[in-house]
Amino acid sequence: MALIAVAALLAVRLRAETGYDLWLRYERLADPVQRASNRRFATAIVPPSRPSPTSDAIEQELRRALRGLLDVDVPRVPRPRSDGALIVGTPSTSPLVAALGWADVLARLGDEGYIIRSTTVGGRAATVIASAGEAGILYGAFHWLRLLQTGQPLANLDLAERPRLERRLLNHWDNLDGSIERGYAGRSLWWPDRDDRRLGDYARASASIGINGAVINNVNANPQSLTAPFIEKAARIADVLRPYRIRVYLAANFAAPKMLGALTTNDPLDPAVGRWWKERADEIYRLIPDFGGFVVKANSEGQPGPQDYSRTHADGANMLADAVRPHGGIVMWRAFVYDADVDPDRVKRAYKEFVPLDGRFRENVFAQVKNGPLDFQPREPFHPLFGAMPKTPLMAELQITQEYLGQANHLVYLAPMWKEFLDADTFAKGPGSLVAKAIDGSLDGKRRTGIAGVANTGRDVNWSGHDFAAANWYAFGRLAWDPGLGAGSIADEWIRMTWGRSPDLVATIRSIMLDSRETFVHYTMPLGLHHVIGGDHYAPMPENTDPRRADWSATYYHGADASGIGYDRTARGSGAVDQYRSPLREQWADPATTPDALLLWFHRLPWDYRMKSGRTLWDELVLSYRRGADEAKGLETRWMTLRGAIDDERYQAVLAKLRRQSEDAAAWRDKCLRYFQAAREGSPRGRR
């Protein structure tokens, strides 16, 4: 007996920590008293009497978690026989839930909302997780598990939640051959063939944070994704995701009719083209009845689109919207367009093309807009389209994969950056017109709402390449559920579930995470500098002058020479400030009232410009790069205090990454400062 106990203990201690289990590790609560007291709230599981694939998944998850966390095999019973049962169901699948008389409240919370309440059922104390819909009980169960995982009390619960956004999607830039555009964590989870164990665990992890959709192929779309063999594969993927209430969506190539040899035109106003897309949609819905719809990258970075036929983005989007509308599908039409003929300043182009189209899209079309007007930079002002298209549902697009933020090598927690975006005031309807309200529909009374995150998942054992990159997947889901959550509280939850619950450990990791984004900005793109990058978007290349396009060149954006540095977007320059409302346009038109963090985004200034700190611009730039490199080193040394407090596998893996990060930061500081110093001295090396 004793031997078995020791062996069991060792098994727990030596459990290989690869990162695979993410925030669903369900590591045993160390304190036996705490385990015992929590067991009182999970003496039995009462699943719906009419089970479904979703309720089976919930039951499995609860049992697995309780076995892990509390070391107990909880029985499943048809009705509570003692205190402490966990009752899960909807009024239509569980008579016990129906008898509680909560139907009205549940209906108000919607199919994805839920109640978690401590109550009595048949005279026994019980916890009820109830929803009007299957998705809601799934999310409720994960919420209850989160309470347990993060060490919160399970007594006297009275929680009611509903998501603030309707569509909460991951966009996977996965190519059909299995490679992933801007993927830093191995190959695709499903192309060319899926790995069902992984796919199931992907679904669990995503559902646990409320993700309800996945675009499974790259927006730079291969038209083959619309052919029978791939639709068939997509249908099998959808089968695995469905119990977890994740719908499949596809990226569509606008030129598919021609490229697949079916038609001689892709003109959206040609009836044959409309018919072709309708047939494709019908075929998809035959195999995937809950198919979500299409995302389209059109007339952007060389992709085909309606403008090839002198038609508008609205013409193209509406044609596709008509094809999916009978089935309840949507179209997400990306606003990531930057045609050089529209305006010399790249950041102005999407606004100029899309604002005139407001009101001209079908009701089931979203414009999908990146958080900033350039391209997922470490810091950008919010995209001026937010607040400027009152009649069009806007789906915000964030990038979880850290294309411009150190990829899978640098620890950069993105929630503070996303919060900066969501909490930004557009002033579209006066003060308080936050971006979050433009997205959740409350600003303009929009019914359709959503957010998409470009995923960072792949077949690497730990899913995202860096153990801390998973925090960004987690944070995206939590903010998609509730944009009002704080970056710090999300970090706290994730740390407790992923690393451990001791207060010191949580505090240390939280501080590392919360500082990391500003640190990254300091050593790569301080003071509003942007796109100081080239090649594969990893390391700063301030000298980069791309022969193909000026707006792919670092020098186009920073323009550093002896006279100064920065991009003038005031009325004297490109005038981009005027795409923002008052008082932003006035504030940002004047360097004195522009925040330092966006100074060189909006202004071109001489090197001896006097900053708010009293230092010159040059000195401030030097300080920032130096500070960034020092801070990166600091992340590493702070991490080293955790040695022994967490498993050695992940400790070492993260340490190795942090070493690389601080080496990179020092090298990038030196490289950028050398370059800008030369530019400032007017030496040819630094000139445009």
Distance CA 127, CA 105 (A): 17
Around Cβ 648, how many Cβ atoms within 10 Å?
11
Reading the block at residue 59, the tokens are: 């039951």
For residues 132 and 405, which CB has a smaller minimum distance to ligand GCW in the complex?
A: 405
The nearest distance, CB 452 to ligand GCW, in angstroms, is 11
Tell which positions 562-601 bind ligand GCW, by CB under 6 A. Answer: none
Distance CA 4, CA 505 (A): 31
For residues 303 and 433, which CB has a smaller minimum distance to ligand GCW in the complex?
A: 303
3-state secondary structure at position 432: coil
Q: Shortest CA distance to 530 belongs to which of 624, 609, 601?
A: 601
Distance CA 513, CA 507 (A): 10
HSE-up (13 A, CA, CB side) for residue 427: 9
The answer to whether residue 227 forms part of the interface with ligand GCW (CB under 6 A) is no
**In which residue are the tokens 């068939």 written?**
232
The nearest distance, CB 34 to ligand GCW, in angstroms, is 46
Tell which positions 55-84 bind ligand GCW, by CB under 6 A. Answer: none
**In which residue are the tokens 């070492």 written?**
652
Q: Shortest CA distance to 671 belongs to which of 554, 519, 547?
A: 554
The answer for residues whose C-beta is within 8 angstroms of residue 271's C-beta and 6 or more apart is none
Whether the Cβ atoms of residue 680 and residue 618 lie closer than 8 Å to each other: yes
For residues 219 and 565, which CB has a smaller minimum distance to ligand GCW in the complex?
A: 219
The nearest distance, CB 294 to ligand GCW, in angstroms, is 15
| Integer CA distances (angstroms), 177 to 188, 191, 219, 230, 302, in order | 8, 6, 14, 11, 21
3-state secondary structure at position 118: strand
**In which residue are the tokens 């966390």 written?**
69
**In which residue are the tokens 């169960």 written?**
141
Whether the Cβ atoms of residue 45 and residue 76 lie closer than 8 Å to each other: yes
Strand partners, 370: 397
Helix (H) / strand (E) containing 370: strand 365-370
The nearest distance, CB 497 to ligand GCW, in angstroms, is 30
Helix (H) / strand (E) containing 437: helix 435-440
DSSP state of 383: P
Q: Shortest CA distance to 374 belongs to which of 366, 388, 384?
A: 384
The answer to whether residue 184 forms part of the interface with ligand GCW (CB under 6 A) is no
The nearest distance, CB 556 to ligand GCW, in angstroms, is 16
The answer for residues whose C-beta is within 8 angstroms of residue 561's C-beta and 6 or more apart is 679, 682, 686, 687, 688
CA dihedral 56, 61, 64, 67 (to 10 degrees): -110
Q: Is 53 left (phi over 0), alpha (psi -120 to 50) or beta?
A: alpha
The answer to whether residue 380 forms part of the interface with ligand GCW (CB under 6 A) is no
Residue nearest to ligand GCW (CB): 375
Choice among 112, 166, 403, 551 that is catalytic: 403
The nearest distance, CB 446 to ligand GCW, in angstroms, is 24
The answer for residues whose C-beta is within 8 angstroms of residue 430's C-beta and 6 or more apart is none
For residues 38 and 218, which CB has a smaller minimum distance to ligand GCW in the complex?
A: 218
DSSP string, 209-269: TT--EEE-S-SS--GGGGSHHHHHHHHHHHHHHGGGT-EEEEE--TTHHHHTTS-S---TT
The answer to whether residue 181 forms part of the interface with ligand GCW (CB under 6 A) is yes
The answer to whether residue 376 forms part of the interface with ligand GCW (CB under 6 A) is yes
The answer to whether residue 215 forms part of the interface with ligand GCW (CB under 6 A) is no
Tell me the backbone φ, ψ of residue 130, rounded to 5 degrees.
Answer: -130, 150
Mark whether 586 is an active-site residue.
Answer: no
For residues 303 and 409, which CB has a smaller minimum distance to ligand GCW in the complex?
A: 303
Mark whether 161 is an active-site residue.
Answer: no
The nearest distance, CB 596 to ligand GCW, in angstroms, is 26
The answer to whether residue 552 forms part of the interface with ligand GCW (CB under 6 A) is no
Whether the Cβ atoms of residue 179 and residue 188 lie closer than 8 Å to each other: yes
Q: Residues 375, 380, 420, 518: which binds ligand GCW (CB under 6 A)?
A: 375
The nearest distance, CB 397 to ligand GCW, in angstroms, is 8
The answer to whether residue 26 forms part of the interface with ligand GCW (CB under 6 A) is no
Q: Residues 182, 187, 247, 603: which binds ligand GCW (CB under 6 A)?
A: 182
For residues 59 and 403, which CB has a smaller minimum distance to ligand GCW in the complex?
A: 403
Whether the Cβ atoms of residue 65 and residue 21 lie closer than 8 Å to each other: no
The nearest distance, CB 251 to ligand GCW, in angstroms, is 9
For residues 94 and 175, which CB has a smaller minimum distance to ligand GCW in the complex?
A: 175
Q: Is 180 left (phi over 0), alpha (psi -120 to 50) or beta?
A: beta
Residue type present at position 325: R
Q: Residues 142, 173, 294, 468: which binds ligand GCW (CB under 6 A)?
A: 173
For residues 68 and 316, which CB has a smaller minimum distance to ligand GCW in the complex?
A: 316
Site mask, ligand GCW, residues 103-142, x = CB under 6 A?
Answer: ----------------------------------------
The answer for residues whose C-beta is within 8 angstroms of residue 67's C-beta and 6 or more apart is 26, 73
Choice among 308, 375, 460, 543 that is catalytic: 375
Helix (H) / strand (E) containing 296: strand 293-296
For residues 197 and 548, which CB has a smaller minimum distance to ligand GCW in the complex?
A: 548
The answer to whether residue 219 forms part of the interface with ligand GCW (CB under 6 A) is yes
* Distance between start and end Cα atoms, the chain: 76
Instruction: Kindly determine how many residues on this chain lie close enough to bind ligand GCW according to the rule CB under 6 A.
Output: 11
Q: Residues 336, 361, 556, 676: which binds ligand GCW (CB under 6 A)?
A: 336
For residues 57 and 533, which CB has a smaller minimum distance to ligand GCW in the complex?
A: 533
Reading the block at residue 72, the tokens are: 């107990």
The nearest distance, CB 443 to ligand GCW, in angstroms, is 25
The nearest distance, CB 249 to ligand GCW, in angstroms, is 15
The answer for residues whose C-beta is within 8 angstroms of residue 233's C-beta and 6 or more apart is 190, 191, 194
Q: Residues 34, 150, 220, 307: which binds ligand GCW (CB under 6 A)?
A: 220
For residues 173 and 556, which CB has a smaller minimum distance to ligand GCW in the complex?
A: 173
Tell which positions 290-319 bind ligand GCW, by CB under 6 A. Answer: 297, 301
Tell which positions 394-423 bind ligand GCW, by CB under 6 A. Answer: 403
The nearest distance, CB 181 to ligand GCW, in angstroms, is 5
Mark whether 112 is an active-site residue.
Answer: no
Q: Shortest CA distance to 268 belongs to which of 300, 313, 303, 223?
A: 313
Choice among 56, 301, 363, 681 that is catalytic: 301
For residues 97 and 367, which CB has a smaller minimum distance to ligand GCW in the complex?
A: 367
The nearest distance, CB 170 to ligand GCW, in angstroms, is 14
For residues 295 and 506, which CB has a smaller minimum distance to ligand GCW in the complex?
A: 295
Catalytic residues: 301, 375, 403
Residues that bind ligand GCW (CB under 6 A): 173, 181-182, 219-220, 297, 301, 336, 375-376, 403
